[in-house]
Each structure stands twice: as C-alpha cells, then as structure tokens.
Amino acid sequence: MKLHILAIAVHPDDIELACAGTLTKHARMGQAVGIVDLTRGELGTRGTPETRLQEAQDAANAMGLVVRENAGMRDGFFANDEEHQLKLISYIRKYRPEIVIANALADRHPDHGRAGKLIADSCFLAGLRKVTTMLDGKEQEPWRPKRVFHIIQDRFTEPTFIVDVTDTHATKMEAIKCYKSQFHDPNSNEPMTYIAQGGFLDAIEARSLLLGKRIGVKHGEGFICENLPGISSLDSLLLPEMP
C-alpha cells in the first residue's frame, strides 16, 4: 500500500496532540494517510500498553486513516542506531510516502527529540540503494520521501508554516480523547501525570486558536521544515478570506 502521508512518532497520542487535524484533512481529500508508532508507550504512568494500542486504533478510525502500525521499539530505550534505522527504513520503503511527519527535534520529553532525529535520518538512508532491507523475503526498493515535516510538541517552536485545520479541529479533539487512560478523568484512581492535569487539553485548544489566528483562520497546526520548502507561485500562499 502506497501512502501519500506517513506520520511517524515515538508514542501513541504524539501525532494526535500535534497534527490530527492535518491528517484528517488530507484523509478527507481522498489521500492515503497512515501512522507508524515507534513504541507502545509502555513506560506511561497511566493505562497499559494493551489499552494504548486499542486507543491508538480508535483514534486512527476517528481520523479516517488507512493503516496504523506499531514498530515495537522499547519506550525510553530505543536509539538512533543502525538496528533501529533499518527497522524504520523498512516501514518507509513499505509505504513509500511522499511526505513524512515526524516528532519534534527537541522537546521536554527526551524520547521526542531522539525520535525526531531517528526518523529524519532514516528517511534519508531509505533512499540509498546500498542500504539493504527485506520485507516478506524480498529485498525492498529504495525510497526517499520528498518532504519531512516535524511537529511542534510541548515546547513551542516558531513554525515554518501553519495548516488551516478549522474544518477538522473537532475531529482532532475527538481523536485525542480516544486516549481515555491518558488524559484528565476525575474518576480515575491512577497517579496524576503532566498530561492528565485538568488544563492540559485546554492548552492544546489554546495553541490551536493561537496558530489559527497567525494565519487569519480559527484553528491551525504548525510544522517545522529543516529544508526550506518551495512554492510554484505566490498564489500557493493564498487562503480563502474569513467570512
């Protein structure tokens, strides 16, 4: 299955919190969109790995994704090394995406930055013919995504560009709330965590409104691009006027 967009992130829920609106938008455009989660988030304080897998699939269904896989790397202890790069290269070559969306390159959680670099490096290496990977007993063809975009996570970073997600923001919040074990629940007896605080999702909403305001729309999602993206004409930067 060839994907137009493949989002890759270290923890289930990373993608939802940062860019579920964008993925939903492209899925509704009829494009094939999928996610590969690097780990099961098994070091998370609340819930279980099995719960997270089900929550991740529920979120994928809400966004209209065609595939979601888990690479089974060790939460907290994966590395940006040959073993992990080859494993990720195999997924990139399997799905042959035009665009890869990846973790932030630096963030509060050390896994995020390490994963962001692992994903970016693997996208480059996936295009090298002499890097060999196998799938179902057959050698895979090289494939390098045309673009790698990094999400903005806990630490705010000035975006390279912002996507208007006004029409898909409600679905984004629906997808985030599929992770019932992770976010605020006044009836939960599990330990309180940074993301389970009552105001955490309010902050997600506030950032969406802030980024939307920056481009003259209601809701926005920001991305970082290390290589400056080009446009075919100035008209590519025109957005419809707000009513």
Per-residue pLDDT tens listing for the chain (243 residues): 899 999 999 999 999 999 999 999 999 999 999 999 999 999 999 999 999 999 999 999 999 999 999 999 999 999 999 999 999 999 999 999 999 999 999 999 999 999 999 999 999 999 999 999 999 999 999 999 999 999 999 999 999 999 999 999 999 999 999 999 998 888 888 899 989 888 999 999 999 999 999 999 999 999 999 998 888 999 988 876 655
Side by side, the strands of the sheet bearing 161-164 are: 67-73, 33-39, 5-9, 99-102, 147-151, 220-224, 161-164
Return the beta strands (E) in 84-184 as ranges: 99-102, 134-135, 138-139, 147-151, 161-164
Backbone angles phi, psi at 147, to 5 degrees: -140, 145
- Specify the pLDDT at position 119: 98
Q: Which helix (H) or strand (E) holds 31?
A: none
Domains and CATH numbers, the chain: 5-229 (3.40.50.10320)
Cβ contact 144:94 at 8 Å: no
> What pLDDT is recorded for position 88?
98
Tell me how far apart the terminal alpha carbons of the chain are, to the nearest angstrom.
Answer: 39
Instruction: Give the CA dihedral 13, 15, 21, 22, nearest 10 degrees.
Output: -170
- Transcribe 67-107 into DSSP letters: EEEEEEEPTTT--SSHHHHHHHHHHHHHH--SEEEE--SS-
Q: How many CB atoms within 10 Å of residue 5? A: 24
